Amino acid sequence: MNAPATVLHNPIVRSKLQFHLGKQVPRYWVENHPFRTRVFDALSMTFPDGERYFIESVRLFRDQITDPQLQTDVASFIRQEAEHGIAHERYNELLREQGMPVDRLLTQMKNRFKHLLKNESPELNLAITAASEHLTALMADCFYAYRETMEGVDPQMRALFAWHSIEEMEHRAVAFDVMDTVAQVDHRLRVRALVITSVLMSAFTLYRAHEMLKADGFGVVDRVKLFATGIPWLFGPGGILAPMGKPYLKWFKRGFHPNDTPPVHQYDVWVKVYEETGDPLKAGQAFWEAGYPGKPA
């Protein structure tokens, strides 16, 4: 008998999840590796302001939504993103305590989002949001489909990213549906938005990781070495983002819809354990353990 297909829920609002993001999280919590950790830190740092920008972009069209299900999903999307922002902001505190230039980097980022909202059309801002959601929706598959990918990662941080990945997958179609059915963004603008988003997200993540490594005290030569070995780990064949390749490209096809792709295979495990225990650490642990053995081929 075949296993029942995993059914993705509409976004479920879960609030006040407790993660222990204090000093017990090692400074280099990804495999005790400075580059790998600072790349994840750079990503984490982007979330609170990035998610506020996503919320703003969707809100610009909220009054025009007539479909009651989409209205409900937009409300849940906003609440999920707000919760993510709160959790990642707590982690920013820890980065500040480590002497990272969090406020300088966040000010630059806030100004960039402000500039986009002020100077670009609501349609482009919404399309950039939907494109960003396309990328974050792929985190669950990239990081958790195979156990080995997140093996050497601190369990608290692994659980934080697991919860965030689950909810990104649950709301992956919300901004897209507003863009497609309400703002009626055409295919060309949609394509442009993902290209812009991919370039900016990659460049700024690497820039922030670089600034943090500098603040860590790594000199120029060490930073060059860290980047030379780190870039293939990130973008190379067999790299951590490699599983994103095929689903990423689906965006460019006409008729694409995010929910045509099945959710990560062990999605139900996270949902069930969280429902039973209310403990995001247990849910994250079970979710990670239920990944396929080994790493992506």
C-beta nearest to Fe ion: residue? 84
Q: Is the separation of the CB atoms in 29 and 37 below 8 Å? A: yes
Closest among 201, 206, 214, 208 to 230, alpha carbons compared: 206
Nearer Cβ to Fe ion, position 82 or 231? 82
CA dihedral of 15, 97, 48, 273, whole degrees rounded to 10? -30
* One character per residue 7-46, x = contact with Fe ion (rule: CB under 5 A): ----------------------------------------
Q: Report, in Å, the least distance between residue 189 CB and Fe ion.
A: 20
Of 13-21, 128-136, 177-185, 285-293, the segment contacting Fe ion by CB under 5 A is 128-136
CB-based contacts of 151, cutoff 8 Å, min separation 6: none
Site membership for Fe ion, residue 190 (CB under 5 A) = no
Of 98-106, 123-131, 166-174, 193-201, the segment contacting Fe ion by CB under 5 A is 166-174
Whichever of 168 and 268 has its CB closer to Fe ion, that residue is 168
158 binds Fe ion (CB under 5 A): no
The region of 6-14, 24-32, 133-141, 228-236 touching Fe ion under the rule CB under 5 A is 133-141
The tokens describing 170, both together, are 């649950």
Nearest to Fe ion of 133, 268 (CB atom): 133
Instruction: Give the count of residues interacting with Fe ion (CB under 5 A).
Output: 5
Phi, psi for residue 120 in degrees, rounded to 5: -110, 160
We find the least distance from the C-beta atom of residue 137 to Fe ion, in angstroms, to be 7
Residue span binding Fe ion (CB under 5 A) among the ranges 16-24, 136-144, 151-159, 267-275: 136-144
Render the burial of 130-161: b for 16+ CB within 10 Å, e for the rest.
bbbbbbbbbbbbbbbbbeebbeebbbbbbbbb
Backbone angles phi, psi at 98, to 5 degrees: -80, 0
Burial class (CB in 10 A: 0-12, 13-18, 19+), 16: exposed
Q: Which is nearer to Fe ion, 73 or 81 (CB)?
A: 81
Residue nearer to Fe ion on the CB measure, 21 or 213: 21
How far is it, in rounded angstroms, from Cα 67 to Cα 50? Answer: 26
The window from 35-43, 73-81, 106-114, 116-124 that contacts Fe ion (CB under 5 A) reads 73-81
84 binds Fe ion (CB under 5 A): yes
Scan for tokens 């139900």, then name that residue. Answer: 268
Binding site for Fe ion (CB under 5 A): 81, 84, 133, 136, 168
